[in-house]
């Protein structure tokens, strides 16, 4: 329940040809873009987007000096990918089964330490527990999932026109 903004993305291993009629395999079957390059590109794109939106000055300069953690992995095919993404999109911050007690204004819950993999307990004041629980809740009107590229609505409409043709 610590603050750590992050993004999960589903990226195809390859892409459609310019006319949308042929699937093009990646040049390297192990990855679409090397992780180090992807990290540098992602960081630069975030910085450019914040600057364009006039929000860059609101980001503390220390953010750009810290190492960003990037992790890329093959998530599988079909239902396996949907299961993987579904765990992140539709789970809650802390389940009822991890809550142990609520007394004297404090909430005690169990969590797994990422370093040791041991189960631990923490007690937080009630207000702080609620703040952390609600932190990932998006403001009204915000989209949790966005679709780009071949997954965008306009692209999917185009795909329906020629969906009878195999790749």
Can you read off the two tokens belonging to residue 153?
A: 């609505």
For residues 67 and 129, give the distance between their C-alpha atoms in angstroms, rounded to a whole number.
28
List, for residues 72-121, the tens digit of each pLDDT value.
777 777 778 777 777 777 777 778 888 999 999 999 999 888 789 999 99
The stretches of 11-89 forming alpha helices (DSSP H) are 35-52, 62-65, 79-89
Q: pLDDT-based confidence at 131, cuts 50/70/90? A: confident
Q: What is the pTM of this model?
A: 0.51
- Identify which of 33-47, 49-63, 128-142 has the greatest average pLDDT: 49-63
Is residue 43 packed enough to be buried (19+ CB in 10 Å), middle (13-18) or exposed (0-12)? middle
Residue 26 makes CB contacts below 8 A (sequence gap 6+) with 13, 14, 32
Cα Dmax for the chain: 65
DSSP 3-state helix, strand, coil percentages of the chain (rounded to 5)?
35, 15, 50
């Amino acid at each position: 329940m610590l603050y750590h903004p992050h993004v999960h993305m589903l990226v195809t291993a390859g892409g459609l040809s310019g006319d949308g009629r042929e699937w093009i395999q990646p040049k390297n079957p192990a990855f679409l873009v090397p992780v180090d390059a992807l990290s540098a590109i992602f960081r630069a794109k975030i910085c450019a987007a914040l600057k364009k939106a006039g929000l860059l000055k609101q980001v503390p300069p220390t953010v750009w000096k810290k190492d960003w953690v990037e992790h890329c992995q093959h998530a599988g095919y079909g239902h396996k990918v949907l299961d993987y993404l579904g765990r992140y999109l539709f789970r809650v911050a802390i389940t009822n089964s991890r809550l142990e007690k609520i007394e004297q204004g404090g909430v005690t819950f169990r969590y797994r330490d990422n370093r040791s993999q041991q189960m631990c307990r923490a007690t937080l004041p009630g207000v702080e527990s609620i703040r952390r629980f609600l932190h990932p809740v998006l403001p009204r009107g915000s989209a949790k999932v966005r679709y780009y590229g071949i997954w965008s609505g306009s692209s999917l409409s185009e795909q329906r026109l020629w969906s009878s043709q195999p790749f």
